[in-house]
Structure 1
Amino acid sequence: MLTTARPLQWVKNLLVFLPLLFAVDLVWEPGNLATLLPYIPRLAGLFAAFCALSSAIYILNDLADREADGRHPTKRARPIASGLLPGWLAISTMTTLAAAGMLALYAITAPALELPLIGGIYLLANVGYSLRLKRVALVDVMIVAGGYVLRAVAGAVAVGAAPSPWLYAVTAAGALFIVIGRRYAEARLAGEDPEAQRATLSHYAPPLGGQLLILSATAALVSYALYAVEADNLPENNTMLLTVPLVIFGLFRYLYLLNHSRDAESPELLMLKDVPLLLAIGAWMVVAGAVLVLN
Structure 2
Amino acid sequence: MKTKNLFGILMLFLFTFAFISCDKEDEEGRKITDYKEYVLTVASEMKPGVMSSDGYNYLNDVYPVKKENTEDWEAMGYIDGFEFEKGYEYKIKISETSYLDYSMGQPAWTEHELLDVLSKEKKDSEGLPLHFIPEWFYEEHVLPKYQYAVEADNKEVIEEDLRTNSILPLDYHYMLYRGEDSSLRWIAIKDDSNTLGPCIIKSENKDPEKMPESYKLLPWEGNVYGFMGWQFLDEEGNETNYPSFDVFASRSTKSRTFNPAPNTVCLYKDLTEYYKNKYPQAAIKAVVVSYAIEIN
Fold conserved between structures, TM > 0.5: no
Q: Which has the higher strand share?
A: 2
TM range (shorter): under 0.3
Normalized against structure 2, the TM-score is what?
Answer: 0.23
More helix by share: 1
Which one has the largest radius of gyration? 2
RCO higher in 1 or 2 (8 Å CA, sep ≥ 6)? 1
